[in-house]
Structure 1
């Protein structure tokens, strides 16, 4: 399978269509099997007690799965999350970025299902696991 969008085109898409969040996120790599996305953890992402907030981890998973889908179908801005589930497994480091390792489990004409494991950079065990379903608008 040939990818419809590579790392550079995905990052350019985010910068153009999601400029309000683009500085916090980046697609690090993309292949047919896996996409790696980064959350540049900053003060705005932290909770008391020195942990990264759940909404920040959720945003990373959502962005990773969304861009993994776009890497296959192209720049369809109106593909939207229709279902999501996240499990917080352990406390992430607050002093390092978070990385989401994402796989597409099913890609249909109207629905796509993906899964992301989120890691604190430098740690082997994931800090969260997320699965999401996206609705893909009909072409035309």
Structure 2
């Protein structure tokens, strides 16, 4: 699937969150997604919430997997490990850089780094996710 097909898939299958995400680039086994940070994503203390960062990591790997296997809505996360490393600035969009490390017949493993816009040298989180492919 290309960027247009992935965007159309998000709108049709996940309209409740499709406007939060923007796919910025797509290559074989790699994807970059932006989360448009809004007040609903913040937690007390003026930072982006952990669940919001998890959602970005999860959606980003999901889209990277779909770019390789096609529109399989029932692909699901089977494992996630996430390290929160820094407090993300509340006034910056978050960017996810994904690399699919392994794509098998039934499982895909991806690595993702999250950072504030313009701060690629200072990741705020890193996650490893495994997806089951139907």
TM-score by length of 2: 0.97
Aligned counterparts of 1:113 and 1:74: Cα–Cα separation in 2: 16
Match of 1:66 in 2: 62
Aligned-pair Cα RMSD in Å? 0.7
Of the candidates 128, 132, 136, which is equivalent to residue 129 of structure 2? Answer: 132
TM-score by length of 1: 0.93
SS in 2 for 1:59: helix
The CA deviation string for residues 24-54 of structure 1, in whole angstroms up to 9 with x for no partner, is: 1121110014200111000000011110000
Alignment of 1:91-110 (within 5 A): 91-110=87-106
Matched pairs, number: 133
Aligned counterparts of 1:26 and 1:80: Cα–Cα separation in 2: 21
Aligned counterparts of 1:33 and 1:79: Cα–Cα separation in 2: 17
Quote how far apart the aligned CAs of 1:12 are.
Answer: 0.9
Gaps of 5+ in 2: none
Match of 2:6 in 1: 10
Match of 1:89 in 2: 85
Alignment of 1:109-124 (within 5 A): 109-123=105-119, 124=121
The CA deviation string for residues 48-78 of structure 1, in whole angstroms up to 9 with x for no partner, is: 1110000000000000000000000000000
